[in-house]
């Protein structure tokens, strides 16, 4: 069991999961850096965290599609001890299939950008004992399905990236955790008819990540039932799978 190393940098902190993570890590005594586009809009969250949890909370302007992540990390007042990549974009499968620009936004926001920033994060954390990188991937990446294969393929690539990064950094003392939340009740999924047994709340996701971080887990499904669900989906023979609408 190990405690997270401060400060904890949350990349994508304006999201529901990002805000829940900030509260969870602050409650554990960690200083937090809330990074997002239009970071000034996080000032109320920053003040609330400082007052409620008596820890340092700062904000930083962040765009996962920006091309120079090393400059972003150099401009931080302190190198983070924990970096959590929350940024992502579900997108619309029909739009992505019809328009290259829509597909590119999904790839850039879920794979290209997150991968670049975590590589830069690893460079900035070199020599920091106990440092941890956490990437939020998706069960959608476990097997490509017609309903969301552009998003799913981006997340599949990100999961593979995190696995390789974990192997690469293990000898440097930097741990990498892959998180697969499944359905989460957030603004991004608003209006969707999500099955309650498979749908987590943002605070639930944050607590699961903090617990997994403390025990140095390599990969988690926030709700363990998803491991079984995806094992069944992955086991379907391709000739049958092609006939299904999933």
128-159 confidence digits (pLDDT tens): 889 999 999 999 999 999 999 999 999 999 99
| Higher-confidence position of 95 and 195 | 95
Residue 157: give its domain's CATH number.
3.40.50.720
Q: Has residue 56 been placed in a domain?
A: yes
Number of domains making up the chain? 1
Question: Which residues, listed in sequence order, are joined to residue 184 by a DSSP beta bridge?
Answer: 200
Integer Cα distance of 25 and 45 in angstroms: 13
Give the pLDDT band (50/70/90) at residue 62.
very high
Closest Cα to residue 220, out of 182, 164, 180? 180
pTM: 0.95
Q: Has residue 106 been placed in a domain?
A: yes
- Expressed as residue numbers, the domain containing 185 is 8-241
Q: Is the pLDDT of residue 20 over 80?
A: yes
Q: Has residue 246 been placed in a domain?
A: no
The three-state secondary structure class of 183 is strand
Burial of 239 (C-beta count, 10 Å sphere; 0-12/13-18/19+)? exposed
Q: What is the mean pLDDT of residues 40-52?
A: 97
Phi and psi (nearest 5°) for 27?
Answer: -65, -20
**Tens of pLDDT, residues 72-89:** 999 998 999 999 999 999
CB neighbour list of residue 100: distance below 8 Å, 6 or more residues apart: none
Closest Cα to residue 39, out of 4, 70, 76, 7? 76
Q: Has residue 2 been placed in a domain?
A: no
Helix or strand (DSSP H, E) at 157: helix 149-169
């Amino acid at each position: 069991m190990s405690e997270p190393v401060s400060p904890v940098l949350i990349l994508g902190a304006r999201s529901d999961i990002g805000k829940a993570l900030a509260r969870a890590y602050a409650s554990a005594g960690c200083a937090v850096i809330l990074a997002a586009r239009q970071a000034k809009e996080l000032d109320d969250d920053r003040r609330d965290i400082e007052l409620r949890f008596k820890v340092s909370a700062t904000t930083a302007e962040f765009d996962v599609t920006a091309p120079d992540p090393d400059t972003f990390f150099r401009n931080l007042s302190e190198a983070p001890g924990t970096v959590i990549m929350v940024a992502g974009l579900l997108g619309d499968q029909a739009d992505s299939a019809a328009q290259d620009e829509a597909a590119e936004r999904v790839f850039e926001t879920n794979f290209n950008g997150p991968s670049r920033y975590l590589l830069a994060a690893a460079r900035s954390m070199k020599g920091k004992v106990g440092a941890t990188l956490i990437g939020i991937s998706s069960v959608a990446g476990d097997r490509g399905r017609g309903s969301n294969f552009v998003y799913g393929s981006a997340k599949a690539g990100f999961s593979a990236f995190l696995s390789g990064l974990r192997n690469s950094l293990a000898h440097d003392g930097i741990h990498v955790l892959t998180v697969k939340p499944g359905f989460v009740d957030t603004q991004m999924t608003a209006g969707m008819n999500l099955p309650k047994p498979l749908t987590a709340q943002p605070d639930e996701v944050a607590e699961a990540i903090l617990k997994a971080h403390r025990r140095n887990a390599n990969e988690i499904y926030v709700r363990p039932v998803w491991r079984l669900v995806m094992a069944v989906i992955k086991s379907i023979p391709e000739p049958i799978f092609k006939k299904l609408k999933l």
